[in-house]
Amino acid sequence: MKILLTGASGFLGGYLLNHFNSLEIETDTVGRKFVNSIVCDLAKDVPKLESHQEYDLVVHNAGLAHKVPKNEREAHTEEYAIRRIKTCRILQKIC
């Protein structure tokens, strides 16, 4: 099994990465920090995945932590638009 994990440097992502590693599951991580196997800011770019890379599971965990929109207007702010962009960019590469 091979997993693609975004947001691996965050609280939940770090926990998931440790868990996958303990099960000896091959995991590629996508994120802005150089500790990731694929360095990419999903708010600005589409990750560069090799054409031969295939994943059995994608866990998209990148995003803004500890912030939930309080109303419809706030949900359409730039921060929340970036969340949608990140999701679209990861999907562009795996679909």
Residue-level pLDDT at 54 = 87
pLDDT tens by residue, 27-76: 999 988 899 999 988 878 888 887 777 899 989 887 766 667 778 777 66
pTM of the full structure: 0.75
Give 73-89 as a DSSP string.
Answer: HHHTSHHHHHHHHHHHH
Cα distances (Å, whole numbers) of residue 85 to 1, 63, 81, 90, 91: 27, 10, 6, 9, 10
State which H helix or E strand residue 29 sits in: strand 26-31
